[in-house]
């Protein structure tokens, strides 16, 4: 079982963001997924990002959050300059390629997780499509309830809502992220 101290190493030298500490406490007693493919992980060595660039400035700006899907994609906070992780946008590093801004904030990511579907990531885009007859994660309903009651965040009910969250994040942070990323990765 992942300890709070192990998970906190992902964010050094910053403290664990409050929303992620709360999510950790929600996930800790569960033996099953609350959102398809999502799992908090300790990745303080930042090895998941080294295939993109090994430059210190690149790695210093990325803080792993969790496994994003069952095949190895990773969510991370992006903080290229001094600041607060609480306000950092969320990225996804796709296991099949592609790096994208997916959420303007941790609150937006937590909302996306309530859609209970794995992100589809390719080099051009990321999306959260869910079939109407898709399997539901065992704890999806309790997560949606927790999200509303504990954090006062509205769960995402449709793929269109999920797409709108991603589009808003990309409109706000996409150009700045792309310019920053291209400094380190030529593709």
User: Average model confidence (pLDDT) for the chain?
Assistant: 93
Phi-psi sector, 83: left (phi>0), alpha (psi -120 to 50), beta = left
94, β-bridge pairs: none
Q: How far apart are CA 91 and CA 78, in angstroms?
A: 7
Q: Between vectors from CA 74 to CA 165 and to CA 31, what angle results, nearest 5°?
A: 95
| pLDDT tens digit sequence for 55-76 | 999 999 999 999 999 888 999 9
Q: How far apart are CA 155 and CA 158, in angstroms?
A: 9
What b/e sequence results for 4-39 when a residue is b if at least 16 CB atoms lie within 10 Å of its CB, and e otherwise? Answer: eeebbebbeebebbebbebbbebbeeeeebbbbbbe
Closest to 35 in 3D by CA, of 125, 134, 123: 134
Q: How far apart are CA 70 and CA 96, in angstroms?
A: 12
Tell me the two tokens of residue 130: 């869910």
Report the range of poorest mean pLDDT among 19-23, 31-35, 131-135. Answer: 131-135
Give the predicted TM-score (pTM) of the model: 0.95
pLDDT at residue number 187: 64
Under 8 Å between Cβ of 169 and 91: no
pLDDT at residue number 186: 63
| pLDDT tens digit sequence for 106-123 | 999 999 999 999 999 999
């Amino acid at each position: 079982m992942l300890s709070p101290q192990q998970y906190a190493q992902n964010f050094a030298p910053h403290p664990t963001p409050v929303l992620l500490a709360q999510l950790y406490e929600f996930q800790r007693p569960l033996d099953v997924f609350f959102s398809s493919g999502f799992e908090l992980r300790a990745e303080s060595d930042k090895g998941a990002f080294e295939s993109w660039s090994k430059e210190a400035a690149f790695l210093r700006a990325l803080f792993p959050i969790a496994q994003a899907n069952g095949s190895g994609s990773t969510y991370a906070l992006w903080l290229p300059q001094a600041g607060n992780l609480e306000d950092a946008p969320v990225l996804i590093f796709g296991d099949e390629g592609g790096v994208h801004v997916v959420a303007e904030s941790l609150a937006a990511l937590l909302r996306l997780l309530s859609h209970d579907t794995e992100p589809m990531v390719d080099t051009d885009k990321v999306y959260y499509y869910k079939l109407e007859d898709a399997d539901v994660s065992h704890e999806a309903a309790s997560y949606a309830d927790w999200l509303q009651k504990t954090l006062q965040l509205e769960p995402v009910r449709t793929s269109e809502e999920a797409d709108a969250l991603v589009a808003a994040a990309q409109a706000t942070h996409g150009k700045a992220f792309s310019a920053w990323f291209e400094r380190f990765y030529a593709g």
